[in-house]
């Protein structure tokens, strides 16, 4: 008697569960159908032809080096575009449809006398048509030309000073001065600003663990980008790097220009220096001139005289004299 109700309830619950699953499955299929229908409707709409209008604010950049933009006469441009919905959607998603940035390097500038200049929008139409992927005839612009004013700027030729930090590998160092190519740059801008400049720096260059010659292309640093332009924006920097070694040499003390007849102890000293390995065998004692300093000294009462180097080879560095002063004897 007890088993019958249990069997009946179990079957009843199973039927309800199947019914519940059936309802959820039907709804899922319905939603999928709605989604597919919406997608097809969207594809159909995007494939249709539309006409849309935009108003752009005009901004110019890269004016000719000898000129400075002073006034934008035609500050806006209206565009009427006929294209498929796909192209219009892509253009709105991936392009700024409020500002039209015009690079004057890419357009023929018409000088209309004095400070008046213009560009023809036909060139702009071709660029927009290529960007959107439509024929030029599908783009209509509200102006045939865009007018603006530019004034001739002053110019000044300034030396280029490289700004760099180089960390060399062990025993390596810069062999000669860093060379720039070109050494100078022509700068354009208001004369009042140019008069304050004596040189132009490069942007900072950092080189690490250098053990060979280097050539670097580096941009020039513009101290006033809003007012100044350069004829060339980049320079080449040449770094000549060599391996160096430390060495020493005995050099006699030169007494030929001393007004006193003296004898020093010792008569020659040791010079310690760094030299590039390729110049190691080129160092000779006669290339140095070492003499005792007697000017402004009471030689008769002094016990020692300091030594000074007045001549040395250009390819040695970090000179150190041992000793740096000597005892002496005045010979009568």
Confidence of residue 88 (pLDDT cuts 50, 70, 90): low
- pLDDT tens digit sequence for 156-206: 999 999 999 999 999 999 999 999 999 999 999 888 889 999 999 999 999
What is the C-alpha separation between 117 and 74, in angstroms, rounded? 11
Q: For a pLDDT cut of 90, what percent of the chain falls above it? A: 48
- Is residue 330 over pLDDT 70? yes
Q: Is the pLDDT of residue 3 over 70?
A: no
Quick one: what percent of the chain has pLDDT higher than 70? Answer: 85
pLDDT digit string, tens, across residues 284-310: 999 999 999 988 888 888 889 999 999
Q: What is the pLDDT of residue 30?
A: 74
Q: How far apart are CA 54 and CA 319, in angstroms?
A: 73
Q: What pLDDT does 17 receive?
A: 47
Q: State pLDDT tens for residues 14-31.
A: 544 444 444 567 777 778
The full set of domains in the chain, from first to last, is 49-152 (2.170.120), 154-239 (2.170.120.40), 245-330 (2.170.120.30)
Q: What totals of helices (H) and strands (E) does the chain contain, helices first?
A: 4, 25
Residue 130 tokens read as 């290529």
- Name the 3-class secondary structure at 60: strand
Q: Cα 188 to the chain's mean position, in Å?
A: 20
Comparing 77 with 321, the larger pLDDT belongs to 321
What is the torsion angle, in degrees rounded to the nearest 10, for the CA atoms of residue 192, residue 197, residue 198 and residue 201? -160
CA angle 165-167-171, nearest 5°?
A: 145
Please tell me the pTM assigned to this model.
0.61
């Amino acid at each position: 008697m007890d088993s019958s109700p249990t069997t009946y309830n179990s079957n009843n619950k199973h039927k309800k569960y199947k019914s519940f699953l059936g309802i959820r499955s039907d709804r899922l299929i319905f939603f999928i159908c709605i989604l597919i229908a919406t997608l097809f409707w969207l594809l159909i709409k995007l494939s249709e032809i539309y006409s849309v209008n935009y108003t752009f604010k005009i901004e110019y950049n890269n004016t000719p080096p000898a000129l400075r933009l002073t006034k934008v006469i035609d500050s806006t441009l209206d565009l009427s575009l006929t294209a498929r919905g796909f192209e219009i959607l892509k253009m709105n998603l991936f392009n700024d449809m409020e500002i039209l940035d015009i690079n004057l390097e890419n357009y023929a500038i018409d000088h209309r006398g004095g400070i008046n200049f213009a560009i023809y929008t036909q060139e702009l139409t071709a660029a927009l048509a290529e960007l959107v992927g439509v024929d030029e005839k599908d783009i209509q612009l509200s102006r045939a030309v865009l007018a603006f004013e530019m004034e001739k700027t002053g110019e000044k030729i300034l030396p280029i000073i490289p700004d760099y930090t180089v960390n060399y590998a062990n025993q390596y160092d810069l062999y000669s001065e860093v060379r720039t190519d070109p050494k100078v740059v022509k700068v354009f801008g208001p004369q009042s600003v140019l008069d304050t400049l004596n040189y132009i720096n490069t942007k900072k260059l950092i080189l690490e663990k250098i053990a060979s010659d280097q050539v670097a292309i580096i941009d020039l640093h513009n101290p006033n980008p809003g007012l100044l332009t350069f004829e060339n924006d980049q320079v080449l920097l040449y770094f000549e790097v060599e391996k160096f070694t430390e060495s020493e040499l005995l050099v006699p003390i030169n007494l030929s220009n001393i007004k006193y007849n003296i004898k020093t102890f010792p008569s020659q000293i040791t010079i310690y220096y760094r030299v590039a390995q390729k110049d190691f065998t080129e160092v000779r004692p006669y290339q140095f001139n070492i003499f005792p300093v007697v000017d402004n000294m009471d030689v008769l009462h002094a016990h020692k005289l300091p030594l000074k180097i007045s001549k040395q080879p250009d390819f040695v560095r970090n000179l150190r004299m041992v000793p740096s002063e000597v005892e002496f004897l005045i010979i009568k």
